Amino acid sequence: MIPTLEWTPAGVNFLDQTKLPLEETYVLATDYKQVATVIRDMIVRGAPAIGVSGAMGVAIGIERSTATTLPELTAEVAIICATLAATRPTAVNLFWGIGRVRDLYNELAARNTPIPEIKAAVVALAKRLYDEDIAACKQMGAFGAELLPKQGTVLTHCNAGALATCGYGTALGVVRAAVERGHKIDVLADETRPFLQGARLTAWELMKDNIPTTVLCDNMSAALMAQGRIQAVIVGADRIAANGDTANKIGTYGVSILAKEHGIPFYVAAPFNTIDLATATGAGIPIEQRDPREVTHSNGKQMTPDGVGIENPAFDVTPAKYITAIITERGVLRAPFSESIRAMAAESELAAV
Ligand code: MRU
């Protein structure tokens, strides 16, 4: 298990992913504003990790508040949630994590619960969401492992691993689970320009686990697919619309088309809270635009001429028609996704009653 983030008595401790793989250092966030900065600056990144960080951010904001009355605290909670929600727009897990803690706060405040009790309850919930993320990833692994070849090469894009979650991974959790069950799997990691999540993070965490890993530049997978050297693709997701269209790291869409063309299965692994039932199709998913400097500069060195136009969308949307299956902790979804997603959501609602 890689300690991506952790609630400690001193604050929320984050493994600084901007420094990997060269330095393994931690950033301690002691208030909600620092948690927001950590999310915005991608010290922590990856949809499930962002979701739990959002929950911990609200919890630390409430826990450290000096408000002495509930109306005062309620006003602060609104500011805390808005600050955290303004960090990154695409991963729906962020809004889910913030919402889970805010809903509990509202419920307890409505019952006039004493403030110290509210503080203890929201911290306990944030910690529980952390544990639940690990359990969900392991369950995704159990469902997904059998979809991967007994022996073969799997391509992944970005980092949907331990570093993108609370310590096991979604797409890479499925790879880990397959390897734990005896599959002989080699991983190809797209480097994932411009932030290099594949080259820096996926390669780092898989090598720690002794899973054979090769880094590819983002433009190489077509040639390898044509040579028959890739048996499956597996990626994570930042937001899945109600029809199965999936936002994930920029470049995923292209990989999905290549996989389709070469008859290679294309899997998405994501916890059920990545599915946004309120967004009908991928067209409704907000796509984060990041600082052009991530493209123009590499390691502080300018790579492009002054004044050139730059595009830097952080995510793209893979249409559901290119997705073979979506692996969740509740089971494996297949086309038609609108129906399978609706059925799984309904089952969960029934189970919750
Ligand atoms: O910009 P990032 O690094 O937060 O983007 C991460 C991804 O796109 C991941 O593939 C996605 O969040 C799934 S992580 C389990």
Domain extents in the chain:
5-139, 143-352
Name the architecture of domain 5-139: Up-down Bundle (1.20)
Q: Cβ–Cβ contacts within 10 Å for residue 141, how many? A: 26
Residues of the chain with pLDDT below 70 are 353
Rounded Cα distance between 310 and 319, Å, is 25
Please spell the DSSP secondary structure of 234-269, one letter per residue.
Answer: EE--SEEETTS-EEEETTHHHHHHHHHHTT--EEEE
Q: Contact, 35 vs 29, CB < 8 A?
A: yes
Q: pLDDT digits over 256-265, tens only? A: 999 999 999 9
238 in active site? yes
Q: pLDDT digits over 68-117, tens only? A: 999 999 999 999 999 999 999 999 999 999 999 999 999 999 999 999 99
Q: What is the pTM assigned to this prediction?
A: 0.97
Task: Determine how β-strand 239-241 pairs with β-strand 184-190.
Answer: unpaired
Displacement of CA 300 from its chain's centroid (Å)? 26
Task: Note the CATH number of domain 143-352.
Answer: 3.40.50.10470
Please list the residues that pair with 10 across neighbouring strands.
none
Of 238, 245, 276, 316, catalytic: 238
Does the beta carbon of 167 sit less than 6 angstroms from any atom of ligand 1?
A: no
Which residues lie below 8 Å from residue 37, measured CB to CB, with a gap of 6+? Answer: 29, 43
Please spell the DSSP secondary structure of 24-44, one letter per residue.
Answer: --EEEE-SHHHHHHHHHTTSS
pLDDT value of position 348: 80
Does the beta carbon of 126 sit less than 6 angstroms from any atom of ligand 1?
A: no
Does the beta carbon of 332 sit less than 6 angstroms from any atom of ligand 1?
A: no
